[in-house]
Amino acid sequence: MPLDPHALHLAIRWLHVAAMATAFGGAITVFALSARTRNGALDAALVEVALRYEFLFWLAAGILAMTGIGNLAAFGSGLPLSRTEWGTTFVLKLGFVIALIVLSLPRTLAIARLQRSRSRPLSAPLQGRLRMMYGGTGAAFAVALGLAVWLAHG
């Protein structure tokens, strides 16, 4: 039985949106938890949640890359050129997402390092840096989402 290309394209778009929602929502969750953690037991839980988020983030990043390429393959020939307003916004979004992915590596490495030294409670400055890292990740996803919505309706 042949695969319906419209169903495949729809599945790819839904997977793309689900991966973005996972990465965005997870960053906001870790950000919110980092704002509330104030003792050793909760510090360990925060590091554990952040570590799980990092795994999901990189899984979602891979899915976003693959489904983004799939979306381009499905719609690429019908997309406006990069010299149009839509095309310029699209190129801006791609560049922004690539920067988000590249700049996420230090965050992941920091969490891996924290996980190895779990026995120590988080200092207030370290907790503040965690809040900034995950708040920044959430804000970056919000910008990427805003650009994506503009592209979908622009």
Could you give the number of structural domains in the chain?
Answer: 1
What pLDDT was estimated at residue 40?
A: 62
CB contact at 8 A, 126 and 110? no
Tell me how far apart the alpha carbons of residues 26 and 49 are, in angstroms, rounded to a whole number. Answer: 9
Tell me how far apart the alpha carbons of residues 7 and 85 are, in angstroms, rounded to a whole number. Answer: 29
What pLDDT was estimated at residue 120?
A: 66
Tell me how far apart the alpha carbons of residues 30 and 130 are, in angstroms, rounded to a whole number. Answer: 9
Range of the domain at 86: 5-153
Q: What is the CATH number of the domain that holds 89?
A: 1.20.120
Whether the pLDDT of residue 144 is over 70: the answer is: yes
Whether the pLDDT of residue 122 is over 80: the answer is: no
